[in-house]
Amino acid sequence: MAVGEEVAAEIVEIKTKTGVYGEIYQVLCKVLDGPDTGRVILRNIKGPVKQGMIVVLLDSEREAKEIKVK
């Protein structure tokens, strides 16, 4: 995948909220196009989101680390 190539992804599940003010959502996204089509990845997304939304990711290679509650 070339640098700067955007990829559409559908939010499958919202896992948790994070960030100082709870403004970051950790979500599972299913990649809809590109070389990683069909892959489900964990990403951090800022702003209000809900299940079924289509978001545009700048890359589909990076994946967020799962947040563990202490």
Q: What is the pLDDT of residue 3?
A: 60
Q: What is the pLDDT of residue 18?
A: 87
The amino acid at 42: L
Residues 6+ apart with CB under 8 A from 48: none
In this prediction, the residues of the chain whose per-residue pLDDT falls under 50 are none
In the structure encoding, which two tokens stand for residue 50, read together?
A: 């809900």
Domain 7-57: homologous superfamily in CATH: Nucleic acid-binding proteins (2.40.50.140)
Q: What is the pLDDT of residue 66?
A: 87
Whole-model pTM?
A: 0.82
Q: What is the pLDDT of residue 52?
A: 95
Q: What is the pLDDT of residue 34?
A: 86
- The three-state DSSP-derived secondary structure of the chain is CCCCCCEEEEEEEEEEEECCCCCEEEEEEEECCCCCCCCEEEEEEECCCCCCCEEEECCCCCCCCCCCCC
